[in-house]
Amino acid sequence: MKQKIQSVEFQSLLFGLTDEGVEFRNKWREVARMAVWLVLSVISMIVMIPGSGANTPLNIGIIIMMSFFKYIPLLMVVYNLARIMAARYLDDVYELGNEDLASDFLEEVTFGYGHERIKINEGKISQRDEESPIILIGGPGSIQVNLDSIALLEKVSGEPEVIYPRSAAWKIDRFERIREIGKYDEAGKREYAIINLHDQFISNLSVKSRTKDGIPITAQDIKVMFSILRREKTAIDQAQGDAYLFDERAVQALVYNQTIITPEPVTPPGMKFPWDTTILPLIISELEELITSHTLSEILATISQKEVDSALNNDQTIAQMRLEMTGQQTTAGAQKQSAAPKFKSRSMITAQFFEKEFKDKAAKLGVAIEWIDIGTWQMPSTLILDKHKEAWNLAQENAKKRNAVERTKKKHEVTEMIELVNQVIVKNYAKSPAALKPASKETEKLPDAETSTAEQTKRRVEMQKRDPAAIATAQEILRAFRKEMIAAKSLIEKDSRPLKEKQVELAKIEKALYDISYLTNHWVKNSP
């Protein structure tokens, strides 16, 4: 068991990619060279001296010297040939097109500690550094990350590592490399998992979709300011003065949680990784959902809320002046003609991008929106916009007509109610069987032709005290009608019509209230 463990450790040191393996290989490479050289030289010397017939010390010394030196170039040739063959294989795997670079990398990864060094600045690397084996193949080497950038590296095992700005350069392991993104494999066009920590700004975005009622509409000239998701600033950050904070999980989210848009936009957005696969699809999908879930009238409005408030204030001012000059109030129905349109204003749409639901969705992609301007709405034809205005004007006219119909309806209801009170309640109550039952000789003396209905009713109520249940039921009905009459009177008094036109209706209501009050407990007797 111990021998097996030792064998595994030996193989790990011999073929491993750690610094300990490099030290082991460097040490035993020289030992192996010397051993092979000595063995071959001794064998050659033993074979050549007896067979050459040399019998003088000079000849023997020449044979010994030649036996030792002739294998030095031979071993060098063999070593270089092996290195060239391995370099060709590596060049074919990584499609480098440069065998010398592959050969140097093999020497470095097997027996070196990494002398290559590149720099990341403003979220990118220089074109010269793109030809470095650190970029093309991987470590060993070192990477200097400047203040405004971060990068994601992947080790041989696939484990990600985030490197960020610091004074010392980052030492990377063998075959560890910056993750490459994108479809281009040419210097200057490649995209890497390197993120700029500055706040980003994009403009001239456009989103085209159809509204809920099937009308195409385009949001143009959208502007957005955003950044990578930042973590909260701690006391250590304040002491170190870190200018650009970031959440390490956001870096991995930007790299691994990309959203691919298919088909590709006709007009390129002008953004590079990672923003073209994160923030762009996020904003487009949010605005498309907004457009498709609302009608055109809810997205566009002929008048704004400010104009509606101004019109309402003007109506209130006019009503106050009318009250002061004529003593007549304006009806509540007339003040509701300028109703605010139910639509999604720009401020409401902008506020959606700062609500918790959208922030959580953006955080999953590793981004945060700082500011957004949704641009302008554009119709495919001015005809649709003109029709929209006509529809709004028609809706306003219909609202006015509905208010007029409501007022007429209320007027007829009041008239009919007065007639019901006079014809059904008062007269039928006076003619009820209980009221017609004679109670005394005084009933025979009532001159029906000369006595008013109220007086007859009053006397008959006094004569039917023997039936209290009928009286209570009738009085409850009369009280209910009295409430309706009072409400109708108040409504007519507030009407904007001239006072002369309302006198007839008010007189009828007053008469009905007088009769009802006399027959109920609301009658107030005049003091003698």
User: Token match 């949010």: residue?
Assistant: 286
pLDDT tens-digit series, residues 261-303: 666 655 555 677 788 888 888 998 899 998 898 887 778 765 5
Dist CA 195 CA 198 (whole Å)? 9
Report the pLDDT value the prediction gives residue 163, as an integer from 0 to 100: 92
Calculate the average pLDDT of the chain.
75
With 70 as the cut, is the pLDDT of residue 469 above it?
Answer: no
- Examine residue 447 and say whether the peptide bond preceding it is cis (omega within 30 degrees of 0): no
149-154/367-373 β-pairing: unpaired
Report the pLDDT value the prediction gives residue 315, as an integer from 0 to 100: 62
Q: What predicted TM-score, i.e. pTM, was given to this entire model?
A: 0.57
User: Token match 């994009």: residue?
Assistant: 202
With 90 as the cut, is the pLDDT of residue 153 above it?
Answer: yes
**Are the C-beta atoms of 203 and 271 separated by less than 8 Å?**
no
User: What percentage of the chain has pLDDT greater than the value 70?
Assistant: 67
Dist CA 109 CA 93 (whole Å)? 16
Report the pLDDT value the prediction gives residue 1, as an integer from 0 to 100: 56
List, in sequence order, every residue forming a beta bridge with 209; answer none if it has no partner. 217
Report the pLDDT value the prediction gives residue 442, as an integer from 0 to 100: 42
**Are the C-beta atoms of 460 and 453 separated by less than 8 Å?**
no
CA atoms within 13 A on the CB side of 465: 6
**Are the C-beta atoms of 116 and 134 separated by less than 8 Å?**
yes
Instruction: Give me the sheet containing 124-125, strands edge to edge.
Output: 124-125, 117-121, 141-145, 170-172
Dist CA 78 CA 427 (whole Å)? 133
With 80 as the cut, is the pLDDT of residue 200 above it?
Answer: yes
Between 315 and 464, name the one with better pLDDT: 315
pLDDT tens-digit series, residues 478-509: 777 777 778 777 777 776 667 777 777 778 77
Mean pLDDT calculated for residue range 384-395: 64
Report the pLDDT value the prediction gives residue 7, as an integer from 0 to 100: 72
Closest by alpha carbon to 487, among 418, 397, 420? 418
Burial of 335 (0-12, 13-18, 19+ CB in 10 A): middle
Per the structure block, which two tokens stand in for 449?
Answer: 């032709």
Dist CA 45 CA 63 (whole Å)? 7
Per the structure block, which two tokens stand in for 254?
Answer: 């930007």
376-378/141-145 β-pairing: unpaired
pLDDT tens-digit series, residues 12-66: 777 777 778 888 888 888 888 888 888 888 887 777 766 666 567 777 777 777 7
**Under 8 Å CB-to-CB from 190, ≥6 apart: which residues?**
130, 180, 182, 184
Mean pLDDT calculated for residue range 174-192: 81
Dist CA 163 CA 157 (whole Å)? 17
Per the structure block, which two tokens stand in for 44?
Answer: 């050659």
Report the pLDDT value the prediction gives residue 441, as an integer from 0 to 100: 41
pLDDT tens-digit series, residues 402-458: 777 776 777 777 677 667 666 665 555 555 554 444 444 444 444 444 444 555 555
Report the pLDDT value the prediction gives residue 450, as an integer from 0 to 100: 42
User: Token match 């010398």: residue?
Assistant: 100
Confidence band, pLDDT 50/70/90 cuts, at residue 142: very high
Report the pLDDT value the prediction gives residue 335, as an integer from 0 to 100: 47
- The DSSP H or E segment spanning 207 is strand 200-210
Report the pLDDT value the prediction gives residue 321, as an integer from 0 to 100: 57
pLDDT tens-digit series, residues 212-241: 878 888 888 899 999 999 887 765 555 445
Instruction: Output the CA–CA distances (angstroms, integers) from residue 79 to 34, 107, 174, 329, 467, in the order listed.
Output: 14, 11, 22, 109, 132
| Long-range contact pairs involving 20-25 (C-beta distance under 8 Å, separation at least 24) | 22/110, 22/111, 22/112, 22/113, 25/110, 25/111
Alpha helix locations (H) across 53-179?
57-69, 71-94, 99-111, 133-136
Per the structure block, which two tokens stand in for 166?
Answer: 């610091």
With 80 as the cut, is the pLDDT of residue 377 above it?
Answer: yes
**Under 8 Å CB-to-CB from 321, ≥6 apart: which residues?**
none
- Examine residue 433 and say whether the peptide bond preceding it is cis (omega within 30 degrees of 0): no
With 90 as the cut, is the pLDDT of residue 143 above it?
Answer: yes
Going by the DSSP 8-state scheme, the letter that residue 274 receives in this structure is: T
CB atoms within 10 A of CB 139: 25
Confidence band, pLDDT 50/70/90 cuts, at residue 526: very low
Tell me the one-letter amino acid at 192: Y
Report the pLDDT value the prediction gives residue 162, as an integer from 0 to 100: 92
Between 498 and 5, name the one with better pLDDT: 498
Per the structure block, which two tokens stand in for 139?
Answer: 């470590």
Per the structure block, which two tokens stand in for 326?
Answer: 């004529």
Question: What string of H, E and C letters represents the secondary structure of 161-181?
Answer: EEECCCCCCEEECECCEECEE
User: Token match 């209130």: residue?
Assistant: 316
Confidence band, pLDDT 50/70/90 cuts, at residue 244: confident
User: What percentage of the chain has pLDDT greater than the value 90?
Assistant: 8
Report the pLDDT value the prediction gives residue 110, as an integer from 0 to 100: 83
